[in-house]
Amino acid sequence: MESLAGVLSAFSRRRQRQAQARWLVPVRRISRVAPVPGRRLVAMTFDDGPTAAPCRPGGGKGVTEAILEALAAYGARATFNVIGTTAPNYPDVEGKRGTVYWSGVKYDHYPAFGEDHLAGVANQPELVRRILAAGHELANHGYRHIAFGPPPWPYGSRQHLPNLAAVVEDLRLLHDLVQQEFGYAMSLARPPHYIDQTADGSSAYSAYAVLGYNYLAASFDGGGWKPSCGSYRRDVKAMVARIRKVLARNPEALNGQIIFQKDGYNMSKESPVVDALPQQLEILRRYDYEVVSVSELLALSPFADLPNDHFAFPAAKGLLEAGYPITYRDNTIRPTQYLTRAELAAMILPWPWPVEVRGLKFKDVSPDHPYAAAIQNLCQQNLLNCQEDTFQPDIPITWSELLTVGQRFNFRFPTPPPPPRKSGPVMRAVAVAFLGPLLTRM
């Protein structure tokens, strides 16, 4: 039954993400990007460190040190999803090794129960300096690594933060520590255990919007965090085999993807990542992959479905950098879909949007509609005809309406290629290419 519960929980989270990806938003969920033509790029991320805890088995150097040495040997750069410290997460009792409670029944303890002083930014500043000096990136994984909301199966007995305000406070504590101590401003974050929903009905996306973060997800599991199979050598071999097999089937399979790894112990209190990582990097090198940080990957290819040789890419990138919400939550542009009237309103209003919405007169747009503020702005600027009592938010924009927007912005732009029908609907890629110079040169 537990296995069935896990499957149902994962299915529910996927459905929820799909539903949320309906809207244009400021916080993008980054799991993979469109491949860069002519190159093979992959990003690698390491969670729950930095840690000075010794490699297990073997002892000696610390896990983070070993990871840094492997990355340096292959000229690779990575993103470290760091914590502050789990030292305050007591009283607690140690859980059974080989289960999700291995490091604590009520809370996580990294690198292990009773050894909290060996991990985290607050405890290991020299390791943070080494990470940054080597050109790697830091991302916010929560100061105390406590779930943002009620945990699903199998973490049911774990404590969680009480509300959105507590989540923001926890994230800001780590953000400020990193900025003040190291002069580094983080721009990406990953929730502990990927638990998005807060106890008061909000989400990680709302918390990340406050801090200006994007949501750092992943598209490929590098392994090394689950319980041991009973043999350390086979655990390492399995981690290496995951990458070898997928690339043997298709050398392009990891191009543009983000790999999840562990900067610490697995559930059996071992660190197979230490011995597997050099072999994984060697395989990636054989297939001509460049291993980069997530931000480096995003600088070259910001979107999941719009490569940098697409005709709309320069305009899309310009709009994104200027603060216009042109992507859905799953970081897609969806270039061949038609742009709706409501989406046009959203795309031409940079963030942050006004909190209060007043005077909306439309029967089909409520004040709590995700684009209510943007639609209000569109009508106040008289950019579309808003004289009727319905706005028709889901109706596709026509060419004539889009041209009217351009004319009312008083901007002189090159005449776009004549559409097949002057009154026909406009695809999103064409609208982005049209709006890019209109909005970013004002």
Cα torsion 160, 163, 164, 167 to 10°: value is -40
Give the integer Cα–Cα distance in Å for 355 and 350: 13
Widest pairwise Cα distance in the chain: 74
Percent helix, strand and coil across the chain, each to the nearest 5: 35, 10, 50
Q: Give the residue from 215, 202, 185, 431 showing the smallest Cα distance to 324.
A: 431
Rounded to whole angstroms, the Cα distance separating 121 from 110 reads 12
Kindly report the CA angle at 43 between 23 and 264, in degrees rounded to 5? 105
Domains parsed from the chain with CATH numbers: 36-298 (3.20.20.370), 305-440 (no CATH)
Q: What amino acid is encoded at 53 in this protein?
A: A
pLDDT tens track, the chain, 442 positions: 334 444 444 545 555 555 557 899 899 999 999 999 999 999 999 999 999 999 999 888 999 999 999 999 999 999 999 999 999 999 999 999 999 999 999 999 999 999 999 999 999 999 999 999 999 999 999 999 999 999 988 888 899 999 999 999 999 999 999 999 999 999 999 999 999 999 999 999 999 999 999 999 999 999 999 999 999 999 999 999 999 999 999 999 999 999 999 999 999 999 999 999 999 999 999 999 999 999 999 999 999 999 999 999 999 999 999 999 999 999 999 999 999 999 999 999 998 888 888 878 899 999 989 999 999 988 888 888 787 889 999 999 998 888 888 877 655 444 454 444 556 799 999 999 999 988 887 4
Instruction: Tell me how far apart the alpha carbons of residues 423 and 404 are, in angstroms, rounded to a whole number.
Output: 12
What are the φ and ψ backbone dihedral angles of 306, each rounded to 5 degrees? Answer: -135, 95
- Closest by Cα among 146, 152, 217 to 10: 152
What are φ and ψ of residue 199, in 5° steps?
-70, -25
